[in-house]
Amino acid sequence: MKLPVPYVIISHTATEFCSTQSECTFHVRFAQTFHIESRKWSDIAYNFLVGGDGLAYVGRSWDYVGAHAFNFNNKSIGISFIGTFNSIVPPKMQLHAAQKIIEIGVKAGKISPDYKLLGHRQVSKTLSPGDALYNEIKKWPHWSPQP
């Protein structure tokens, strides 16, 4: 992937929530298996995932194009929140984990310092990242109403 990327795209997995490392690891592995076996992708779609346990999970990492947002995969880092956030806002430690990934990415030169933060629904026909999470990320620095 050509770095630094100009976009960070936030999604949710639209699965059950996880609150322990054991549960979250299970969800990450399940998503990876689904994406490889059912979707026929080379790996899990996301660059990173964040769990309700407050931990970040590495998907494709920084240097590899994801499969998380059509037409934006090669110019964005995709961070997916494990769970469904249509009506419930993720816990603070899950939000913090995503913010730290972005901060680390900017410091490491993987994400452009003037990046645009987008919700998955802004670039794909989807409800992701859910209304509650979408309304939360709109308050974050770099959120952009337009790609």
Arithmetic mean of pLDDT over the chain: 97
**Rounded percentage of the chain residues whose pLDDT exceeds 90:** 100
Range 7-11 average pLDDT: 98
Per-residue H/E/C for the chain: CCCCEEEEEEEECCCCCCCCHHHHHHHHHHHHHHHHHCCCCCCCCCCEEECCCCCEEECCCCCCCCCCCCCCHHHEEEEEECCCCCCCCCCHHHHHHHHHHHHHHHHCCCEEEEEEEEEHHHCCCCCCCCHHHHHHHCCCCCECCCC
Q: What is the pLDDT of residues 86-130, one digit of tens each?
A: 999 999 999 999 999 999 999 999 999 999 999 999 999 999 999
Range 23-31 average pLDDT: 97
Domains plus CATH for the chain? 5-137 (3.40.80.10)
Range 12-30 average pLDDT: 97
For the entire predicted model, the pTM comes to: 0.97
Tell me what pLDDT residue 120 has.
98
